[in-house]
Amino acid sequence: MWTVPAHTLHRLPEGLALREGAMVEPVAVACHDVRMSELKEGEFAAVIGGGPIGVLVALVAQARGARVVMAEVNPFRIQLARSLGVDAVNPLETDLPALVNQRTGGAGADVVFEVSGSQAGADMMTKLPRTRGRIVVVAIYGEAPKVDLFRFFWRELKLSGARVYEAEDFELAIELAATGRLPLAKLITDVLPLSRLEEAMHRMEGGGDCMKVLVTCTD
């Protein structure tokens, strides 16, 4: 048992299933990322990386009224994202900058979320924004990536980082989960008992046919 300050607790509605309730924390991450981007209704957003957080960022952005395209190379995650209503493409097969320009009348994305944590993602994030567009780095990099600073100068881009969340992000996440506006249950690949925690971690690290694995402590 842990003792925590009362102000750090957020009440889940009684009608919210525990599985969806367990997804509130990553949804709060996505809510924070989108809030930091200052995304507005009708704007165009590009999400680089289609893991759990990337998909949630795309879903929250769409819930805010944005047009979204998501880039991901894992076929399973591409198909899952599409089944959730996210326009997902493989950047190894699709010219992503050309696609973004086509859908924005040549202007470029208003906001780019870098969620892949890869050098390829760092390369791509500066190719997609419009002049004075915004880039939000969500991913955690193991090593410092190379970044095209000329594009920042030439297009007067704005770069911000997004780390975890604040109370208002949790409240919005709970609202989105409770109202069913996000298909959270479909993001859960499996639920494993605590005795299989190591297996769950390996599955998440390995990617493949996996999105979100929950661990239950009651079995």
CATH number at residue 151: 3.40.50.720
Q: Which one is predicted more confidently, 1 or 125?
A: 125
Establish if 218 belongs to a structural domain. no
Establish if 135 belongs to a structural domain. yes
Establish if 170 belongs to a structural domain. no
* Res 2: pLDDT: 82
> What domain range includes position 133?
19-161
Is residue 1 classed exposed, middle or buried when 0-12, 13-18 and 19+ CB atoms within 10 A define those classes?
exposed
Establish if 187 belongs to a structural domain. no
* Res 219: pLDDT: 66
Which pTM was predicted?
0.95
Distance CA 51, CA 215 (A): 18
Cα torsion for 45, 162, 27, 202, to the nearest 10°? 110
In this predicted model, what pLDDT tens digit does every residue of 192-206 receive, in sequence order?
999 999 999 998 888
Strand partners, 71: 48, 89
pLDDT, the chain, mean? 96
Establish if 6 belongs to a structural domain. no
Give the pair of three-digit tokens for residue 143.
Answer: 């090593």
* Res 143: pLDDT: 95
| Total domains, the chain | 1
Establish if 1 belongs to a structural domain. no
Establish if 10 belongs to a structural domain. no
Establish if 61 belongs to a structural domain. yes
